[in-house]
Structure 1
Amino acid sequence: MRLTASELVSAIDNLPKDRTYTYINPKTKGLIKIVSVTRPEGPIVIKRFDSTKGGTLENAREESISPEMIWRVANAFFPNQPINLDRVLGGSYNTRSVLETLIAHTPQFYFCYPGRIESTISNSQIKRGHKHVMWCPENPHQLGVLVKAETDIVISEVPIADAFYDALVVPDELVTTELDIEAVRRHSQIQIALIKIGQQLGFRTWIAQNDKGIKYQNKRLVEMEGVVNSLRDERIISAFEEAYKAALLIDCIWFKNGKLMPAVMEVEHSTGVTSGLTRMKGLQDALPPFLTRYVIVAPDEDRDKVLREANRPQFQSLNVRYFPYSAVEELYSLCQRRKIRGVTEEFLDSFMEPTLGQLEQPYVVQ
């Protein structure tokens, strides 16, 4: 069960707008007023002021909580698990305590102080922890009030593991008026992460024909370990000429043991999702019935768009899975830190979300 930015924004929008809100920490004397909420994913505009220092609602300036910040927070929550927003946001965003406070005033969220494991050379001790927020969707409280949850949860505060990429070189021909250099670079970083994940899972990886000129660690992508040089070498595809042609421009395909094709993936960073779905549908139509995953890899904030497009009638046979960037980089980071092996296909599935039937409203043909 995952939380989305639109669900967070909706919950905050339901808070009364004719009142102010106190911070979770009683030592923080300021007050917060919601000015406006833009659905579905923000921004949220607020005012905050401290009357003990002469501040008033009238002279307080308006500040914005961005959709990006809301998405980062939403992605961190799992049911009944305490989350420290300062750690999630890395100390960035000066409105993080405001967002934390507003979230905690909504019915499904509690604040708490889980125990903290403090380790030294000789021993470990459990000490009082820092302030966390916990999402409890099955146990809502009254709207507009702060409620503390008593919990026996203890947290070992291991530093957050980041995914990292070496410098890459993007050919000039890939940068167009539609795609700037940063968009192409981010698209390429995700492809590299998929190649590295594939290596760890024992897969060979096909990268789209027109992306092979990208250089990473002084090698073209086609020269990286585990990258398929020619689709003619993969009998699953080469046996079907139309499938071969359709696969050439697919962003990423995983192959295994010369007999299996664990995933067909389109990375949709800043282009429309429909083009990637159309390419995958063309490949599916050119192959006999075959067990594989058709996957859209896209930024977390594009989840609603992916679900909406994947549920179009013409794409439902793909049974598309959504592989958000955060999940790609979580798995990539794990592969960088641990030489994982022997995992099952179910392990891979746990990082992807099915899309069929996940829309709040069924797709209707216009």
Structure 2
Amino acid sequence: MGFTVWIARNDHLNKYKNQQLGKLSSKNFPLIVPQYFPRKTEKNIQLIDVILFRKEFQQIEAAFEVECTTRIYSGLLRMADLSLCLKRVLLAYNAPDCPCYIVLPKAKKKLFEKQLGRPIFQELQIFQLCKAINIEDIESKWKESKWKSDPNIIQKISYGLGQDAPIN
């Protein structure tokens, strides 16, 4: 899709279909975290499973947490860290917030909504920024080759708090 891809630093040695994930990832993390943010914030953001950057501007296009083995709230906390950091950085540049997605099995939809409804995520308005994508929808669209032919596929298969998953 023409993006620079960051894969979580702790996943660089993992393999998918005999390919090391780190070889698919940018070697350097391009996000500039403000000096007044704790170094730990940048380390937490680097644990987000996949971040897509626009090649020409290194602007974040989207962030994805794949929640098959970890808890949904940990992914939402990383997204909250990213959002807070970007809001501080972007105030100077008047750039848009990036959309964040939690990728999960359909069976975890209610748990996603429960976690996103927590007061901290409401206060930080993460519920407006973060949507879910069902793993099953990603797999079916991949089989249909929709990823290359439809640049809006992510928006079409994602859903937010209180929304039904799209039926395609």
- Matched residue, 1:296: 102
Alignment counterpart, residue 340 of structure 1, candidates 148, 154, 160? 148
TM-score by length of 1: 0.37
- Matched residue, 1:254: 52
- Matched residue, 2:131: 321
Distance 1:218 1:348, change over 3 A: closer
Deviations 1:131-165 (A, max 9, x none): xxxxxxxxxxxxxxxxxxxxxxxxxxxxxxxxxxx
Deviation at 1:229, TM superposition (A): 1.6
What is the letter of the counterpart of residue 42 of structure 2? Answer: Y
Alignment counterpart, residue 230 of structure 1, candidates 28, 36, 47? 28
What is the letter of the counterpart of residue 229 of structure 1? Answer: K
Rg (Cα) greater in structure: 1
SS at match of 1:350: helix
Deviation at 1:239, TM superposition (A): 5.0
* Residues 60-209 of structure 1 aligned to structure 2 (within 5 Å): 201-209=1-9
Deviations 1:227-248 (A, max 9, x none): 21210xx2xx125354533321
Partners of 1:214 and 1:220 within 8 A in 2: yes
SS at match of 2:53: strand
Deviation at 1:286, TM superposition (A): 1.5
Distance 1:332 1:278, change over 3 A: same
Q: Which runs of 5+ in 2 are unaligned?
A: 91-95
SS at match of 1:275: helix
Deviation at 1:334, TM superposition (A): 3.1
Alignment counterpart, residue 278 of structure 1, candidates 77, 80, 97? 77
Tell me the distance in 1 between the aligned counterparts of 2:155 and 2:117: 19
Question: Aligned residues: percent identity?
Answer: 26
Alignment counterpart, residue 264 of structure 1, candidates 43, 63, 79? 63
Tell me the distance in 1 between the aligned counterparts of 2:147 and 2:132: 25
Alignment counterpart, residue 244 of structure 1, candidates 24, 42, 45? 42
Tell me the distance in 1 between the aligned counterparts of 2:50 and 2:147: 22
Give the length in aligned residue pairs. 148
Partners of 1:307 and 1:358 within 8 A in 2: no
What is the letter of the counterpart of residue 255 of structure 1? Answer: F
Tell me the distance in 2 between the aligned counterparts of 1:270 and 1:239: 28
Tell me the distance in 2 between the aligned counterparts of 1:293 and 1:228: 20
What is the letter of the counterpart of residue 324 of structure 1? Answer: N
Relative contact order higher in (CA < 8 Å, ≥ 6 apart):
2
Deviation at 1:281, TM superposition (A): 0.6
Tell me the distance in 2 between the aligned counterparts of 1:273 and 1:283: 16
TM-score by length of 2: 0.75
